[in-house]
Chain A
């Protein structure tokens, strides 16, 4: 992995308020709606929706940066990966307690959710679970 050589893929992480990240990287893993997608240079053009989860940037065989997104879209072309997300947080900035607290709040909201709000509350819980998992994984690593 480390010696994919000079081949890099341009990665743009865009939020409505800013272009958060824009840099060439070795590989990007995005949480596609139907499973994680690892995008290396030369990937087939693809547009996908994202589920709540982590966008991992790989450089030299390691995850160098990772971001937590709650849904969004990704556009992959052979040279470029563009992730559009309405809410982006660097995992490094989220503490384990914080993540756990969010999961608890989300579960409580789900328990008290009305029929109409059920799907949204469920999505919140799924997102929080993904976050807790991500943060604990990061701690373990």
Chain B
């Protein structure tokens, strides 16, 4: 019957979908590897940068009269959320969890009487949030990490955010990104980038010693030019590094999430092919039996 033909087409289409999902899984796996390597390679810079900031801030006089990036505006009325998502979908709950967390935070902050603005990194997040929070979006950055996350991407984002901060558009900026735990687990993590949260000052000199430095804990550095000027240059640098790290984590998470999602899809397609083949065979057998009965009962009637 016609049913057999539809079943056959159905099986064929599921099989080709399976091929696509399994190819996407493989691509995601290799991208994940690269993203993880990039995240590891970025670690020394971030660590040393943090140590320098901590060292400069260990002088309380400097820390107290720090620049605005450190001290903040003295208010937390206007909050900027920076959800980091991907440009492309088919990555399981990767983008949806970020969007959900962003919505939750918006509701929470607005309940506290604060103004919320959004700066979306990644097309998917912007698309999803535009529907109900379109008026809050003050910027969108897309096309990040198509060929691996570059430091210039982080620079662009950080410069835009700092520019907006200096223009007085917000008081506090928080990044929301997926922290990479494993291919099957990514955790939405908030990271406040403005005002800069000082690295743990006590831990820093000890960390330096542990890294193989012979100098006594809390070595006294000379600063050239002054501590204030170094801090002025360090803080935006540190901000760029933090944005870069978040982008790297997010990129690793994206590929991990996509790999898992595509693995599941491939498996589901396999199950479906199994079921469809079973139905196909049953139907075929039923048809044969029916034809046989017809022939036999025809012969008997004679």
Which A residues contact B (CB, under 8 angstroms)? 12, 14-19, 32-34, 37, 44-49, 71, 73, 75, 77-80, 82, 84, 86
Chain B facing A: main interface SS? helix
Complex Cα spacing A128 to B205, Å: 37
Number of residues from B at the complex interface, CB < 8 A: 33
Structural contact, A45 and B44, CB atoms closer than 8 A: no
Residue of B nearest to A18 (CB): B41
Residues from 232 to 273 in B contacting A, C-beta threshold 8 Å? 233-234, 237, 240-241, 244
Chain B proximity of A39: nearest CB distance (Å): 12
Interface string of B42-82 (1 = CB under 8 A from A): 10111011011001100000000000000000000000000
Structural contact, B213 and A80, CB atoms closer than 8 A: yes
Structural contact, A84 and B52, CB atoms closer than 8 A: yes
A selection of 17 A-B contacts at a CB cut-off of 8 Å is A12-B44, A12-B48, A14-B45, A16-B244, A17-B42, A19-B45, A34-B224, A34-B225, A44-B222, A45-B219, A46-B223, A47-B56, A49-B225, A49-B229, A79-B214, A84-B45, A86-B151
Which B residues contact A (CB, under 8 angstroms)? 38, 41-42, 44-46, 48-49, 51-52, 55-56, 151, 154-155, 213-215, 219-225, 229-230, 233-234, 237, 240-241, 244
> Which of B38, B215, B224, B237 has a CB less than 8 Å from the CB of A48?
B224
Complex Cα spacing A47 to B231, Å: 11
Residue of A nearest to B215 (CB): A77
Chain A proximity of B263: nearest CB distance (Å): 29
Residue of A nearest to B151 (CB): A16
Chain A proximity of B245: nearest CB distance (Å): 9
> Which of B38, B46, B221 has a CB less than 8 Å from the CB of A46?
B221
